[in-house]
A and B are shown apart, each in its own frame.
Chain A
Amino acid sequence: MYNFDVEKPGTIAEAAAAMGADEAQALGGGQTLIPTLKQRLASPSKLVSLKGVAEMQGMGKDGNTLRIGGATTHATVAADGSYPALSALASHIGDPAVRNRGTIGGSLANNDPAACYPAAALASGATIVTNTRQISADDYFQGMFDTALEEGEIITAVSFPIPQAANYQKFVQPASRFALVGVFVAKYADGVRVAVTGASNEGVFRWTEAEAALSTNFSASALDGLTVDPDNMITDLHGAAAYRAHLVKVMTGRAVTAAG
């Protein structure tokens, strides 16, 4: 690792000010960033640790909306249960030690094409709250490792409208523990949303044909006539594009059945 300074602000305002320094970078749980630094793929001059920002910790329900602070760990979300499908998703990210450090803000900022939280945020039509604005999930995800965040912008919270029914199905890539393909299905009064992670070269995406079919008939059989185009799917040593396309449909069906 190249060396860097570590700053530990206590408030969002202090964190935002610290991020103004040249080559400063946010440090959430470090579960992605520290391995990246070890490979010398980044060389920040300063890491701004968000763990000590009390306003960014913890979660709370306000009516039908669940607000999760940007520095809240996967373990805290897993233990909560006010949005059961989301807690179940968090409880299967990586392993216990990763969940004790990794944060929702870090996961969404990183937007790994195989990460779990992006699927939940997109399928739930969540709102990403930053130190300067609110971004709807539909505008936030902009391709593999790419988001609407500006330089120095901090995810301070994420708001999830809680659906009537939801489920996340993850086909685990057993070496990395990330999703080979993961599908999050969420059913709201005004329709069903389906978001797919792990599969596409463009990162997380909505499977709109399935959404239309499931909004009329919320059962796995509604997917029968649909096919997923393997054209833009990821091919790597763990699975070919056609295999991933096939898995998208299988996982969506399982998620619908499990959501009930």
Chain B
Amino acid sequence: MTKVTMTVNGKTVSGDVEGRTLLASFLRDDQGLTGTHIGCDTSQCGACVVHVDGVAVKSCTMLAAEADGATVDTIEGQANADGSLNVIQQAFQDHHGLQCGFCTPGMVMSAAALLKENPKPSEQEVREYLEGNICRCTGYHNIVKAIMAASGQDVTAIAAE
């Protein structure tokens, strides 16, 4: 076991991990932050996306030991300070960007990374950025619409399909 320390959603946390402990497992099992989901074994679904030092990574494909000393942001840290949903989360609710909700934490974290890099993406850019986030329910359309709306763009022309 090795001791790791990291800043998760603004708080310093530490724990003892095995070499093989994934960042996703550390967050879920050690820290109780179960908003980060594990949807596959093949690094393809994106349900586990968190931000490490400001960029989107698949927490199922990074070792907890590699995140020692890093700043990690998860879905639990996304709401506004008063507990209300942040602009991306609210847009997902307003535009029906989720159904079962399993993919949603990863979708919101990917969307947040996209809007940080590219505050006014085109619909095509949103779709390309979400290549590594799989949703089995929505057909993506309303997810794209929600992210476009969260970026402050007019989405009335995007039909709800």
Contact = CB atoms under 8 A, between A and B. Distances in A.
Interface of A: 1-6, 8, 27, 30-31, 34-35, 37-39, 46-47, 49, 51, 75, 94-98, 100-101, 176-177
A6 B63 contact: yes
B20 A35 contact: no
Contacts of A51: 66
Interface in B1-38: 2, 18-20, 22
A96 B19 contact: no
Contact of A34 (B43, B113, B132, B133): B43
A194 B61 CA distance: 33
How large, as a class, is the contact surface on chain B? 20 to 34
A20 B146 CA distance: 51
A2 B41 contact: no
Contact of A49 (B57, B66, B113, B131): B66
A34 B61 contact: yes
Nearest to B60: A34
Contacts, number: 81
Given A30-B63, A95-B132, A97-B56, A6 B19 contact: yes
Interface of B: 2, 18-20, 22, 41-44, 46, 49, 55-58, 60-63, 65-66, 110, 113-114, 129-133
A100 B59 CA distance: 12
A1 B22 CA distance: 10
Given A2-B20, A31-B61, A51-B66, 14 more contacts: A31-B43, A34-B43, A34-B60, A34-B61, A34-B63, A35-B42, A35-B61, A75-B55, A94-B132, A96-B129, A97-B58, A98-B58, A100-B56, A100-B57
Nearest to B17: A6
5 contacts: A30-B61, A49-B65, A97-B56, A97-B132, A100-B56
A52 to B, nearest CB: 9
A100 B67 CA distance: 14
B57 A101 contact: yes
A34 B129 contact: no
